[in-house]
Structure 1
Amino acid sequence: MSSLRTSRTRLAGAATTVVLAALSLTACSDGTGVHAESVAAATPTTAHASSPTPSSAAGSATSAASAPAAGATTGSRKSTGGTAASKPPAQAAKPVTCEGSNTKTVAAPLTRPVNHMLLTVTNTGSRTCYLYAYPAVRFGEAQSVPPVIEDSKPQAVVTLAPGESGYASVNLSATDGSGTHGHTVNSLYVYFHGRSGNESVGTGAHPPLPAKGVYVDDSLKVTYWQQSMDDAVNW
């Protein structure tokens, strides 16, 4: 009986030793004791819950890569700026023919040379215009225009920018009295030639004459249009 009790006591002691040894191994591997083991076991679950999923992590990486840094200029802005800087200038308007609707004509009798009148045509339009050939003038009720002085033809077509003027002179009558059919006229019409020089284009001009009129005879003639006043009055 005594030996049976002794065996049971030894078995119980051995079992206790095994349990303590197991607990001791667990505590040693963790380094914090039995209670810390249960906390450590819960830690992976918490870490897993806070970790981003693969898809959300990829989205965050994409957003970070596509977002420009502070103060950086994006490619689209540079492209837009380049386009604005390289915009071609507007094309200049094509020149037109000078005529009554885009010019103003003034007729002024001259004291020097005597028996002469100066025609001044000013470009009142917004585009450059060309004064072709010579003025086709009609005084009073005349049925034809006077001839042109051929030697007065300029080397180039008279070109008037907006605001600029061209000139021609009119020899009203012979200075030596050799002219015939002299008479006084009170009205004047000026017509303009086209590029060919043989036709009248656009509208004419009707510049006023002095109240007493001007005296003309059959020696009446005109010069070609000139770029300067001095060239016009030399004839």
Structure 2
Amino acid sequence: MSARTARRSRLFAAASVALVATLSLTACQNGDGSKDAGPARTSSPSADGKPAASGTAGGGSQQDTQTGSTGKSTTGGRHTDKGTSSGTNSGSTTGKGSTSSGGRTDDPHAPANRARCDASRIKVTAQVVSRPLNTMILTATNTGSKLCDLFYAPVVRFEGAQSVPPSMKDTQPQAVVSLKPGESGYAAVKLSSPTGTPDPGYTATSLSIGFYDMDHRNLDGFAPTALPAKGVYIDGSIRVSFWQSSLDDVSSL
């Protein structure tokens, strides 16, 4: 090899080294002289092992957000979990004894569903029985649409009587007789003494029944009650039982 050829080989090798260095430097810089940010970063894996949604390259805002305690989440759009409670309470309840929507209730014993047992909603019938002797049974039926209470004894008013007969205190039940619509309560009227009395008495042909309130005050109105065509004989010993819930209770008085 001549000296000239050897010199050209060295120059060519030096030029190649310089070119490689220049290309390497260019790869580390962008077109405007600033450094390249490199590949976009990815977020760390989520708790279930799946990668969380990545943000935009260059530090853009993250799209995957959570709404908080409501249990709703959005992933690039809104999605509602059907099992999540809305957090509101309508205040209404259902079931017996509890208040339903609008303040109404299905409990017949609730104050809103109770009424007075008076002549406007009670039908009374009378039947003279053979035993006990000289006894008449009164049956009071609730013809109204609400539960009502029969307090104390019936107010018995016979035609021609100067006053209502007294009640038999020993027949007072342990609880007030409450009648649902269609139900009946009962009372016994001891018309006359089975052994006879000095008072001759008389035969009554008409009868009406009144009612007391819980404070033992007479309610307005009387329910007309039919008697047998021949009437019933009464004397000064007449007495009236308290209202009872069972016919057996008055039959044994």
In structure 1, what is the equivalent of residue 237 of structure 2? 219
Q: CA RMSD in A?
A: 4.2
Counterpart CA distance in 1 for 2:83 and 2:170 is 69
Counterpart CA distance in 1 for 2:196 and 2:240 is 18
For 1:144, what is the secondary structure of its paired residue? Answer: coil
In structure 2, what is the equivalent of residue 117 of structure 1? 136
For 1:230, what is the secondary structure of its paired residue? Answer: helix
Kept in 2: contact 1:168–1:233 (CA 8 A): no
In structure 2, what is the equivalent of residue 196 of structure 1? 215
Task: Give the structure with the higher percent helix.
Answer: 1
Between 1 and 2, higher relative CO (CA 8 Å, sep ≥ 6) is seen in: 1
In structure 2, what is the equivalent of residue 174 of structure 1? 193
In structure 2, what is the equivalent of residue 150 of structure 1? 169
In structure 2, what is the equivalent of residue 65 of structure 1? 76
Larger Rg: 1
Gap runs ≥5 in structure 2? 1-63, 65-73
For 2:76, what is the secondary structure of its paired residue? Answer: helix
Q: Once the two structures are aligned, what percentage of the paired residues are identical? A: 40
User: Could you tell me the TM-score, scaled by structure 1's length?
Assistant: 0.64
In structure 2, what is the equivalent of residue 102 of structure 1? 121
Residue 162 (1) aligns with residue 173 (2): no
Q: CA deviation at 1:233?
A: 2.2
Which runs of 4 or more aligned residues in structure 1 lie more than 3 Å from their structure 2 counterparts after TM superposition? 63-69, 72-75, 78-88
Residue 186 (1) aligns with residue 186 (2): no
Q: CA deviation at 1:195?
A: 0.9
In structure 2, what is the equivalent of residue 30 of structure 1? none
Gap runs ≥5 in structure 1? 1-60
User: Could you tell me the TM-score, scaled by structure 2's length?
Assistant: 0.59
